[in-house]
Amino acid sequence: MVRRGIALVALVVAVVCRIQMCLSDISRASFPTGFVFGTASSAFQYEGAVKEDGRGPTVWDTFSHSFGKIVDFSNADVAVDHYHRYNEDIQLMKDMGMDAYRFSIAWSRIFPYGSGEINQAGVDHYNNLINALLAKGIEPYVTLYHWDLPQALEDKYNGWLNPQIINDFATYAETCFQKFGDRVKNWITFNEPHTFAVQGYDVGLQAPGRCSILLHLFCRSGNSAREPYIVAHNVLLSHATVTDIYRKKYKSKQSGSVGISFDVIWFEPATNSTEDIEAAQRAQDFQLGWFVEPLIFGDYPKSMRSRVGSRLPEFSKSEAARLKGSLDFVGINYYTTFYARHNSSSVIGVLLNDSVADSGAITLPFKDGKAIGDKANSIWLYIVPQGIRNLMNYIKQKYGNPLILITENGMDDANSPMISIKDALKDEKRIKYHNDHLMNLLAAIKEDGCNVRGYFVWSLLDNWEWAAGYTSRFGLYFVDYNDKLKRYPKDSVHWFKNFLTSN
């Protein structure tokens, strides 16, 4: 009996250690009082119901239905049906002990044609979602634009390439402030403007699929050398305009905050050479600096001004004044770290003639044939937890320690038909990923004094991952695409529940 008892205890310990990974002893209580934990999503990746209740088509509807644009030839017409199942999904957040939910509003549900008459059914849906969250004690963090531009504006005036969009976006944003601002206290104007400027208008791998690299071999239209900068410029002016509207007309009554979320890869110099150290800085200038420096200092980084020249738009004095300081917080979507080395070859610049070549830096997750970290499923996602601490310190030192929210962090597994659901739920790598990133984030806060106040997991559910379709699973919950989209908790759900409820 004694031996059986010992064996049983050992088995229990083994199971607990597998779920907890016998990892570092941290919990919610390790973080400062008021630190927010949540999950993140986007309307296009989650909602589905693309033709219901008056929603208008978007550039991503068009792009995902274009042959060869999505790896598995799928689309997001149904996605994970969050539009109909949000109550069920909110309960999953509540059961885990999450404080907040970051979601995006679909512009074309509010204005099906991008402007004009308001679609009340869309307003009703988001009112219901927000009220359901608050009823469960979960704080809404709302992203106004997560890549799903109404197709009508793309057709009308080429969307983000035309400054007219600044006014249309401002009208849409103010409508959201009016309809939801009495309950929403945290607004994110844009998600990853760097991603949709480069991927959508430079290399053409995302909607609306514009580029000119390799003599229009991959895209029918576009100008990779100019359009990403025009798009970014209009996005920045849109953000500043919307923030100004909120501060002047709504902040005193609604007491909310307005920020923006940036995708940021941390770059390590490939060598200790001056050339590679400078290349790493340029790579960061052409990624984070491109968007955050106008909002903090009123202009683009000096390296961009010198290297891009007349192709980089200018801000007027009044625009620069409106841009400067138009952030209440900085959202950071961190996933990975790359090496950066100086590009000494002129061939890449000639072949691409785009914003990537303009930086004069080659960024890769390899050095001397060795990967920078363990690989997740996505070809770009290598696991480097130290990178999040390095990045927080960089922002603190360079930009005056602004308030930061980690608005996305996570890793994916492959969606393999060869793996059973039972085995797919055993996501030890994901548990270790979050544990190690949270340990580094905690060190950045407590040891380095970085002003970080929140952490949002990407993502609550497996979902439709843009050009990767359904081939990639980022969720804490497994979604069975073959059986009515049933949700199953992975081991990471149990880990997070313990993390969030344990003292």
Q: What is the pLDDT of residue 11?
A: 44
Q: Which two tokens stand for residue 270?
A: 């490939």
For every residue of 295-329, DSSP letters joined together read HHTSS--HHHHHHHGGGSPPPPHHHHHHHTT--SE
Q: Where are the domains of the chain?
A: 35-501
Q: Across residues 143-158, what is the average pLDDT?
A: 98
Instruction: Answer yes or no: is pLDDT of 468 > 50.
Output: yes
| CATH superfamily, domain at 35-501 | Glycosidases (3.20.20.80)
192 is an active site residue = yes
Summary mean pLDDT of the chain: 94
> For the segment 76-128, what is each residue's pLDDT rounded down to a tens digit?
999 999 999 999 999 999 999 999 999 999 999 999 999 999 999 999 999 99
Q: Across residues 133-162, what is the average pLDDT?
A: 98
Q: How far apart are CA 475 and CA 75, in angstroms?
A: 18
Q: What is the pLDDT of residue 15?
A: 45
Q: What is the pLDDT of residue 217?
A: 80
Instruction: Answer yes or no: is pLDDT of 349 > 90.
Output: no
> For the segment 213-261, what is each residue's pLDDT rounded down to a tens digit?
876 788 999 999 999 999 999 999 999 999 999 999 999 999 999 999 9
Residue tagged active-site, from 154, 192, 293, 319: 192
177 within 8 A of 254, measured Cβ to Cβ: yes
> Identity (one letter) of the amino acid at 275?
E
Instruction: Answer yes or no: is pLDDT of 326 > 90.
Output: yes
- At 194, the pLDDT band (50, 70, 90 cuts) reads very high
pTM for the model stands at 0.95
Q: Which two tokens stand for residue 311?
A: 């192709």
Q: What is the pLDDT of residue 218?
A: 83
Q: Which two tokens stand for residue 241?
A: 């305009």
SS3 149: coil
Q: How far apart are CA 214 and CA 191, in angstroms?
A: 28
Q: How far apart are CA 181 and CA 249, in angstroms?
A: 11
Residue tagged active-site, from 154, 293, 408, 465: 408
Instruction: Answer yes or no: is pLDDT of 487 > 80.
Output: yes
Q: Across residues 201-223, what is the average pLDDT?
A: 91
314 is an active site residue = no
Q: Which of 50-64, 114-128, 201-215 has the lowest mean pLDDT?
A: 201-215
Q: Across residues 412-422, what is the average pLDDT?
A: 96
- Residue 129 Cα to chain centre, angstroms: 21
